[in-house]
């Protein structure tokens, strides 16, 4: 089940909100947990025991970490992250390792492809951060399994993030009251995210697919395809994050913002402070800093960046193209750090922004490609191997509404910088347009096949 579906909007969500409103405060977490497990089982009930087992294991080992003596705490921590991490490695990377071994001639025998449970990466990262935070003393272990499992399994962030840390919701898991104003804001956020997903991201999706299916794309075809994908990915995931935040507010849970106008960044490091904030901060706090961060020598700090981003790339998908995408960004961040360390001249904002945007867009080419063949085809196209002007095939695939989304998407990206007052007024106007935009989106959804959120695959 996805948020942008009739079954969720008119069956699951109303039944959940009704049940949640009827139960007393004591039973709210249990109600939320039960519906969250139903939500997950709607996709594949046979994978529900996996996430339940990870929740049970993480909750139990969290208590063990807190109660263990000084010598045993590290072993308890390793035990706490072992099962979630092993589950992630097996379900997400077994196929990649098998295919890689077979491609270099290693005999592998008969093999049945392993199915990746949706949302497993987000679920596992939540379990790891909880175990580490209990070990560090940042949070106290949760004594109630229902409360902990509710944090892990809440359907708002269960299948596509953001990466929610226990400390962000711990207090409200224990006690929270219904606030009509907060609920209303949650409904607005959900409706606006829904409209953004349907009207912008899903409208651009067929254009991106058409561009990547061209056998001999021109430079204009490839450039517009990469631009369309950059906007599709941003509006798709930003929409999901907004809907998740809205659903959280409806039940009294506050999730932090996950995007902060990333395409307006003037440097690559600023981009990563603004893009998928919950993941980038997770990688910083639970991988980069434990590796040594920037506390050691400059070369070692650059290596730490490369390792962190390479693993972050692999987290996004079981493909070597994702790891190269991570290394691409790691190399860019390292180069930026070296430039600053050697006191290179500061670039004007417009120049830094242009370089950052081109760098990020080139990275999206790797991120979207399904194979190295697609990467080479698009790179050759951008170099003019098949001409520079838009091809007739791509022109035929480009619909007026898609062109409007391209232009409108660019305008939405730059409006906060170009007209801050207009952006603020736009936010106020959107509050009044939430319901009409949602109704239009529901009507549009009726004529489309449901398009899953792009981050479901991660």
Report CA dihedral (100, 305, 327, 357) to the nearest 10 degrees.
Answer: 150
Mean pLDDT, to the nearest integer, of 48-64? 96
What is the DSSP annotation of 256-269? PP--S-GGG-SSHH
Mean model confidence pLDDT for the chain: 90
- Position 197 scores a pLDDT of 93
- Position 86 scores a pLDDT of 96
The last residue of a domain, from among 132, 147, 177: 177
How many contiguous H segments (helices) and E segments (strands) does the chain have? 21, 0
pLDDT over threshold 90, residue 193: yes
Q: Report helix, strand or coil for 444.
A: helix
Domain membership of residue 214 as a residue range: 183-457
Residues with Cβ within 8 Å of 291's Cβ and at least 6 positions away in sequence, in order, are: 304, 307, 308
385: β partners: 387
CB 419 within 8 A of CB 257: no
How far apart are the C-alpha atoms of 142 and 434, rounded to whole Å?
37
Give domain status of residue 1, yes or no: no
Quick one: 132 and 241 in the same domain? no
pLDDT digits (tens, 9 = 90+) for 255-311: 989 999 999 999 999 999 999 999 999 999 999 999 998 888 889 999 999 999 999
Give domain status of residue 85, yes or no: yes
Question: In which band, very low, low, confident or very high, does the pLDDT at 318 lie, cut at 50, 70 and 90?
Answer: confident
Q: What Å distances lie between residue 390 and 60, 208, 347, 380, CA to CA? A: 59, 14, 33, 15
How far apart are the C-alpha atoms of 65 and 134, rounded to whole Å?
7
pLDDT over threshold 60, residue 423: no
Mean pLDDT, to the nearest integer, of 88-103? 91
Residues with Cβ within 8 Å of 443's Cβ and at least 6 positions away in sequence, in order, are: none
The last residue of a domain, from among 153, 177, 201: 177
pLDDT digits (tens, 9 = 90+) for 201-210: 999 999 999 9
Mean pLDDT, to the nearest integer, of 217-234? 95
Question: In which band, very low, low, confident or very high, does the pLDDT at 400 lie, cut at 50, 70 and 90?
Answer: very high
Active site residues: 316
Quick one: 258 and 400 in the same domain? yes
Whole-prediction pTM value? Answer: 0.92
Give domain status of residue 78, yes or no: yes
Tally of domains within the chain: 2
The one-character DSSP state at 68 is S
Quick one: 264 and 350 in the same domain? yes
Q: Report helix, strand or coil for 195.
A: helix
Question: In which band, very low, low, confident or very high, does the pLDDT at 458 lie, cut at 50, 70 and 90?
Answer: low
Give domain status of residue 356, yes or no: yes
Return the higher-pLDDT residue of 161 and 8: 8
CB 241 within 8 A of CB 259: yes
- Position 175 scores a pLDDT of 86
- Position 104 scores a pLDDT of 85
Q: What Å distances lie between residue 307 and 329, 365, 427, CA to CA? A: 11, 21, 39
Quick one: 94 and 190 in the same domain? no
Mean pLDDT, to the nearest integer, of 225-243? 94
What is the DSSP annotation of 170-196? HHHHH-----HHHHHHHHHHHHHHHHI
pLDDT digits (tens, 9 = 90+) for 447-457: 777 666 666 66
How far apart are the C-alpha atoms of 86 and 414, rounded to whole Å?
42
Of 328, 165, 185, nearest to 255 (Cα)? 165
Quick one: 377 and 256 in the same domain? yes
The one-character DSSP state at 113 is P
How far apart are the C-alpha atoms of 212 and 215, rounded to whole Å?
8
CB 236 within 8 A of CB 452: no
- Position 13 scores a pLDDT of 95
Quick one: 225 and 127 in the same domain? no
Phi/psi at 443 (5° precision):
-65, -40
pLDDT over threshold 90, residue 189: yes
The number of C-alpha atoms within 13 Å of 296 and in the hemisphere containing its C-beta is 13
Q: Report helix, strand or coil for 232.
A: helix
Based on its alpha-carbon atoms, the radius of gyration of the chain, rounded to whole angstroms, reads 23
58, two tokens:
């993480």
Residues with Cβ within 8 Å of 290's Cβ and at least 6 positions away in sequence, in order, are: none
pLDDT digits (tens, 9 = 90+) for 348-385: 889 999 999 999 999 999 999 888 899 999 999 999 88
CB 256 within 8 A of CB 431: no
Question: In which band, very low, low, confident or very high, does the pLDDT at 110 lie, cut at 50, 70 and 90?
Answer: confident
Of 215, 201, 203, nearest to 394 (Cα)? 215
Quick one: 171 and 238 in the same domain? no
Give domain status of residue 349, yes or no: yes
Quick one: 51 and 146 in the same domain? yes
Quick one: 59 and 158 in the same domain? yes
Of 271, 205, 219, nearest to 405 (Cα)? 205
Q: What Å distances lie between residue 398 and 204, 205, 232, 314, 390, CA to CA? A: 10, 11, 15, 32, 11
List the single range of 65-79, 162-176, 424-438 with lowest mean pLDDT.
Answer: 424-438
Quick one: 204 and 334 in the same domain? yes
The one-character DSSP state at 162 is -
Quick one: 329 and 219 in the same domain? yes
298, two tokens:
């400059």
Give domain status of residue 15, yes or no: yes
Write down the residue that tokens 């106290």 correspond to.
140
Quick one: 270 and 353 in the same domain? yes
Question: In which band, very low, low, confident or very high, does the pLDDT at 4 lie, cut at 50, 70 and 90?
Answer: confident
Give domain status of residue 128, yes or no: yes
The last residue of a domain, from among 177, 197, 222: 177
């Amino acid at each position: 089940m996805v948020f942008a579906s009739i079954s969720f909007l008119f069956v699951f969500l109303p039944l959940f909100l009704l049940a949640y409103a009827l139960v007393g405060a004591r039973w709210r977490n249990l109600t939320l947990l039960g519906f969250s497990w139903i939500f997950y089982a709607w996709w594949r009930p046979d994978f529900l025991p996996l996430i339940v087992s990870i929740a049970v294991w993480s909750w139990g080992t969290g208590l063990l970490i807190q109660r263990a003596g000084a010598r045993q705490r590290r072993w308890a921590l390793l035990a706490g992250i072992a099962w979630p991490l092993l589950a992630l490695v097996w379900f997400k990377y077994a196929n990649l390792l098998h295919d890689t071994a077979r491609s270099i001639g290693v005999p592998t025998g008969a093999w049945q492809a392993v199915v990746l449970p949706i949302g497993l990466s987000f679920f596992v990262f939540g379990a790891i951060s909880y175990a580490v935070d209990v070990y560090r003393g940042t949070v106290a272990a949760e004594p109630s399994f229902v409360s902990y499992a509710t944090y892990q399994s809440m359907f708002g962030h269960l299948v596509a993030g953001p990466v929610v840390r226990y400390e962000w919701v711990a207090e409200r898991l224990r006690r929270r009251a219904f606030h009509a104003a907060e609920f209303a804001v949650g409904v607005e956020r959900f409706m606006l995210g829904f409209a953004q997903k349907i009207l912008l991201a899903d409208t651009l999706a067929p254009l991106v697919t058409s561009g990547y299916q061209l056998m001999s794309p021109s430079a204009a075809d490839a450039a517009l395809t990469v631009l369309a994908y950059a906007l599709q990915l941003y509006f798709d995931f930003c929409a999901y994050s907004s809907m998740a935040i809205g659903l959280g507010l409806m039940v009294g849970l506050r999730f932090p913002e996950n995007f902060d106008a990333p395409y307006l960044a003037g440097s690559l490091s600023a981009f990563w402070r603004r893009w998928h904030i919950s993941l980038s901060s997770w990688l910083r706090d639970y991988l980069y800093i434990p590796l040594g961060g920037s506390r050691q020598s400059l070369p070692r700090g650059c290596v730490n960046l490369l390792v962190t981003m390479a693993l972050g790339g692999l987290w996004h998908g079981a493909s070597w193209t994702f790891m190269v995408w991570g290394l691409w960004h790691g190399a860019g961040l390292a180069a930026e750090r070296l430039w600053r360390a050697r006191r290179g001249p500061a670039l004007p904002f417009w120049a830094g922004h242009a370089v950052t945007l081109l760098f990020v867009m080139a990275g999206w080419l790797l991120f979207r490609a399904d194979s190295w063949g697609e990467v080479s085809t698009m790179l050759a196209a951008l170099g003019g191997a098949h001409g520079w002007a838009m091809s007739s095939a791509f022109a035929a695939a480009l619909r007026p509404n898609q062109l409007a989304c391209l232009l409108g998407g660019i305008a939405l990206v730059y409006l906060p910088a170009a007209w801050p007052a207009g952006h603020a007024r736009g936010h106020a106007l959107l509050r009044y347009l939430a319901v009409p935009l949602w109704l239009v989106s529901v009507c549009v959804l009726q004529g489309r096949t449901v398009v899953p959120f792009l981050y479901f695959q991660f």
